[in-house]
Structure 1
Amino acid sequence: MSCPDCTTGDILVGTPKGATKDDGSYLAAAPDGSDSKRAVVLLTDIFGLGLDNPKIIADYLSEQLKCDVWVPDLFKGKPPVRPDQLQMPQRAGEKIGALRWTKFIFTALTSLPSIISTRPSVGEKRIREFINKIKAEHKYDTIGAVGYCYGGIACVRLAVTDIIDTVVVCHPGRFSLKLIDQLVIPVAWVCAEDDFGFPTTKRKKAEEILAERAKDDKRALAYEFQDYKGTTHGFACRPNGQIPEIKEAFEKSLEQIVSWFNKHI
């Protein structure tokens, strides 16, 4: 939780079609007759599987990519923020008033034990264990991961290893730019216009680092950055469909994710 926008958003319309496994994870299985040799792991924001949003997104990705999409239970059934604490999203450029800051601070304080127990280093261990498990059980040839907010941080940390083949980072929380120079797999970035967790200055610096690496054939990586006008942190997983530009940005972000995975897994 890096800013008030971590607790903003809306609930997607739809009913999950996949299955919840014994470990609490969610599987949107590949459509019948589809190639099951590749898979995607969707890493959630701090609402975890308390919202149906990641399940609905996983169903969509599975249908489009014709592959299994897994959503691990990163918080062991106890996500730091509950759905009833969800606030409506704001458009880019709007000021965060005292009331929102107060609500955010209160939510952060009451969620502090859970936040500490699920800090990125802890979450990363759980994610690695989950990926190794599905690799062993399903013998996938290639695996990609897409992460939102908290899950976006996790994707950056995963991308400095070769445990998977590629990642898509959606409006991530705070992470060290030192990791950008350590990336070893292709990375796509879904960027909000107004984002406390990944502000424009940091986003530009990350791109500069990757552009500089591209000049060296031995260190060059495939990458892309797409910015979505009018959006704030969380738009790609908790969009308010009543705001036209937010709805369009959400839909375009899904297209970007599908396109990227079709190229890299």
Structure 2
Amino acid sequence: MSCPKCVEGYELPGEPVGSIQADFLGAYFTPGSVSGDKRAVVLLTDAFGLPLKNCKIIADRIAKDVGCDVWVPDYFAGRPIIPLDAMNMPDKAEQRATVLDWIKFVFNGIPAIPGFIRNRASVVDARLESFFALLKEKETYEKIGAVGYCFGGATAIRLASTDSVNTVVIAHPAPFKMDQVRAIKVPCAWVCPEVDIFLGSEVRNNAEAELARKKEAGNGIEYEFHDYPGTQHGFACRPNNKYPELVEQYEKALEDTIGWFKKTL
């Protein structure tokens, strides 16, 4: 469930303004800018988890611009799959991973294997069930959206077939199955890079076709696919400001995400 691009990235500028909530299994929380708003967004991180501040910076931005509370659950239980010191810088779409890149990735990725095992989908989904149960018990939200990046993107696809959320954004997800796409029952927006080993053009088009078939059959949901030229896997949460064109696409993806929640949440 990983590739050389999954460990590439850049820390976003700024400092988080929210806080860690021990009563919510160590989730990061940032309050919305609209007092008394009954909506919330849950941000599902990439494999770096909460130690990479990007998820918190993005959560703060969504809370401010959408106006609702944003939560970032610690669904790795304090032990993310990939340590922060393993992060490398990202490339543009035309800069492909070489055979040597793959060899280095496989060699360096061996220590991460236990992390993938202890954070397999069934375990992470169970942790999220506990988190959503706490939200239901302690908060009074009427609608909840979710946005997931990479590992969290695949998690968002699975979550979209449950009753926990009302709308989702799926950003360059890790591997998923078309059966999971067919099971989606809430509005969904997809953030699609130009080049992605997991969400390549064929997979992206097949996912869109599945949702179109559901709609034609009369049991479909609202959906959108957004394509971002010049980008690779990870750009929507770990852009490198060395490349202004990548930062521009990151900003556009975030604005599209915010717009989607304003429309559907």
TM-score (norm 1): 0.96
SS at match of 1:26: strand
SS at match of 2:92: coil
Q: For 1:13-39, what per-residue CA distance to the aligned partner results, in whole angstroms no more than 9, with x for missing partners?
A: 1100001111321001113x5233100
Equivalent position of 1:50 in the other structure: 51
The answer to whether structure 1 residue 26 and structure 2 residue 2 are counterparts is: no
Equivalent position of 2:255 in the other structure: 255
Amino acid at match of 2:129: R
Equivalent position of 2:40 in the other structure: 39
The answer to whether structure 1 residue 154 and structure 2 residue 155 are counterparts is: yes
Equivalent position of 2:146 in the other structure: 145
Aligned equivalents of 1:108, 1:35: Cα separation in 2: 45
User: Following superposition of structure 1 onto structure 2, how do residues 109-128 of structure 1 map, counting pairs within 5 Å?
Assistant: 109-128=110-129
Amino acid at match of 1:263: K
Q: For 1:101-159, what per-residue CA distance to the aligned partner results, in whole angstroms no more than 9, with x for missing partners?
A: 12311232101111101012211111122112112211100000000000001100011
Aligned equivalents of 1:238, 1:95: Cα separation in 2: 17
Percent identity reads 44
Aligned equivalents of 2:72, 2:215: Cα separation in 1: 32
Equivalent position of 2:164 in the other structure: 163
- Deviation of 1:93 after TM superposition, in Å, equals 2.8
Amino acid at match of 1:91: K
Aligned equivalents of 1:120, 1:192: Cα separation in 2: 23
Task: Name segments (4+ residues, structure 1) moved above 3 Å.
Answer: none
Aligned equivalents of 1:84, 1:27: Cα separation in 2: 24
Aligned equivalents of 2:108, 2:224: Cα separation in 1: 34
- Deviation of 1:98 after TM superposition, in Å, equals 3.3
Q: Is the 8 A contact 1:190 1:225 kept in 2?
A: yes
Aligned equivalents of 1:221, 1:70: Cα separation in 2: 25
Q: For 1:201-247, what per-residue CA distance to the aligned partner results, in whole angstroms no more than 9, with x for missing partners?
A: 00001101111221122x12100000100000000000012212210
Equivalent position of 1:225 in the other structure: 225
SS at match of 2:117: helix
Amino acid at match of 2:97: I
SS at match of 1:62: helix
Equivalent position of 1:98 in the other structure: 99
Aligned equivalents of 1:135, 1:247: Cα separation in 2: 36
When structure 1 is superposed on structure 2, of 103-112 and 228-237 the one drifting more is: 103-112
Root-mean-square deviation (Å): 1.2
- Deviation of 1:253 after TM superposition, in Å, equals 0.6
When structure 1 is superposed on structure 2, of 173-182 and 51-60 the one drifting more is: 173-182
Equivalent position of 1:214 in the other structure: 215
User: What is the number of residues matched between the two proteins?
Assistant: 263
- Deviation of 1:170 after TM superposition, in Å, equals 0.3
Amino acid at match of 1:206: A
Aligned equivalents of 1:114, 1:133: Cα separation in 2: 25
Aligned equivalents of 1:198, 1:6: Cα separation in 2: 13
Amino acid at match of 1:27: F
The answer to whether structure 1 residue 68 and structure 2 residue 74 are counterparts is: no
Amino acid at match of 2:32: A
Aligned equivalents of 2:178, 2:206: Cα separation in 1: 8
Aligned equivalents of 1:72, 1:24: Cα separation in 2: 7
Aligned equivalents of 1:211, 1:93: Cα separation in 2: 30
SS at match of 1:111: helix
Uncovered stretches (5+) of structure 1, i.e. residues with no partner: none
Q: Is the 8 A contact 1:28 1:69 kept in 2?
A: yes
Q: For 1:75-122, what per-residue CA distance to the aligned partner results, in whole angstroms no more than 9, with x for missing partners?
A: 111111111111111111322123321231123210111110101221
Amino acid at match of 1:26: Y
